[in-house]
Amino acid sequence: MKRPLIGVTTSSRSGWRVFPFINLNLWLVGGRGVRWGAGRPADLDAVDGMIIGGGDDISPELYGMTIKTTARLDPARDALEHGLATEALARNIPVLGICRGAQMLNIAAGGSLHQDAWSVYPDAKPITTVLPKREVTVCDKTRLSFIAGMEPMRVNALHSQSVDRLGEGMRIAAQDRAGMVQAIERVTDPFALGVQWHPEHLFYAKRQRALFRALVVAARARAEQRLQSPAVTEAALAAI
């Protein structure tokens, strides 16, 4: 069958340079991406999986709080991604969240965020480079541990917000040395994983490519199920 099609949400400001890296990673592991964003068509019926990309902070209004710190927000993107993430989780569509995307997954599941992660975790120093400078520990017996192994990994975590209250059905999959959550995942199938770092820039690292491979494997399985279903539409078939 053809490569599974993955919808990729991006920032209207930086998506033009981020999407090629994400699509490269997908292509290396057997998938292909289509760029989504505010003002661009986004149809979950046309894809087999989804990636919620990184970018601006998420408005605290999405999880019932008010803005307490200075942040660069994108309300149109918030609305689009919150709707897509909520629907994807409800419809069991495989999802990978990257940085902001991990946070959006948690919010879509009913969780909340620390608006200023560095004030909550003062021992976790901010990082401003895409080089892998932060060490994270993978939690035992998690999906992430089966995908990338249990060895500590160096990642490029650039975020300023972090997971606070876990969403329903989510668990912590990795933390840094200060205890800050660096990855979350759905407790049960299907695939839903969020990482606070940017694996798309670490395509040379086998363990980071494995995150995209896991998504593509789950998306391919969903595509095969759709092909076998009598309810598959011509439009869905054309997109596979």
Active site residues: 99, 198, 200
Q: Report the SS3 class of residue 229.
A: coil
| Distance between CA atoms of residues 45 and 192, nearest Å | 17
Strand partners of residue 49 = 6
| Distance between CA atoms of residues 209 and 179, nearest Å | 25
| Distance between CA atoms of residues 68 and 70, nearest Å | 7
| Distance between CA atoms of residues 52 and 96, nearest Å | 6
93 neighbors 190 (Cβ within 8 angstroms): yes
